[in-house]
Amino acid sequence: MKFLTVVASCSYRQRVVVVVIEQGVQMFVIRFLVLGFLAFYSYAMGDQPGGLNGFGTFIAFSGIVVIPAFYMLPTIEAWLRESSNLPSIAAVNLFLGWSIIGWVFALIWAFRKPTPIERAQQFGYQLSQPSFPSQQPDGNKPKKDCPFCGEEILAVAKKCKHCGSELTT
């Protein structure tokens, strides 16, 4: 309930981000812990001087895959979430990930899901301003009835737009 209270006090845009982060964070934590453990485990194994048994060698060589995977985890998260910013996130992750800040930045970016509007634009929809037909430019001008056809016309009209009669006022 505390979470809901926090959500309720946010704007809609923040709320979307918070809810999405909450949904995805559990699976991420699992991946983070597993990959992190394997990466450091294999690093520690590879660092061991002397002979390793078969399992130790396997673990050490698995670091070739696991350590880059751990480093690129923000990109993996972005890919799993079908982020529209995947190329940018991958670039930040790859080139700035060595600094912890760049890694965390890429990760947060990966978690940020596009809003429905951004998703619509991503699929090429043109968002037009809502139009109000009742609010025409001459909507509030004074009107009168044409004495020939009875249709409503502007009070300043010199000629009826319906029947074409000349109006003498």
E-strand stretches of the chain: 143-145, 152-154
Per rule CB under 5 A, is residue 159 in the interface with Zn ion?
A: no
Count CB neighbours of 135 within 10 A: 8
Q: 101: buried, middle or exposed (CB in 10 Å: 19+, 13-18, 0-12)?
A: exposed
Per rule CB under 5 A, is residue 154 in the interface with Zn ion?
A: no
Per rule CB under 5 A, is residue 27 in the interface with Zn ion?
A: no
DSSP state of 9: T
DSSP state of 157: -
Per rule CB under 5 A, is residue 163 in the interface with Zn ion?
A: yes
Per rule CB under 5 A, is residue 30 in the interface with Zn ion?
A: no
* Nearer to Zn ion (CB atom), residue 23 or residue 165: 165
Question: Which window, 25-33, 85-93, 132-140, 142-150, contacts Zn ion (CB under 5 A)?
Answer: 142-150
Contact in structure between 144 and 136 (CB atoms under 8 Å) = no
Tally of CA atoms within 13 A in the half-sphere of 89 that contains its CB: 26
Per rule CB under 5 A, is residue 143 in the interface with Zn ion?
A: no
Q: How far apart are CA 54 and CA 161, in angstroms?
A: 94
Per rule CB under 5 A, is residue 157 in the interface with Zn ion?
A: no
Per rule CB under 5 A, is residue 162 in the interface with Zn ion?
A: yes
Per rule CB under 5 A, is residue 120 in the interface with Zn ion?
A: no
DSSP state of 134: T
Token representation of residue 64: 């070739």
Per rule CB under 5 A, is residue 66 in the interface with Zn ion?
A: no
Q: Given candidates 22, 33, 148, 154, which one binds Zn ion under the rule CB under 5 A? A: 148
* Nearer to Zn ion (CB atom), residue 35 or residue 153: 153
Site map for Zn ion, 84-103, x if CB under 5 A? --------------------
Q: Kindly list the residues in this chain that would bind Zn ion in the complex (CB under 5 A).
A: 146, 148-149, 160, 162-163, 165
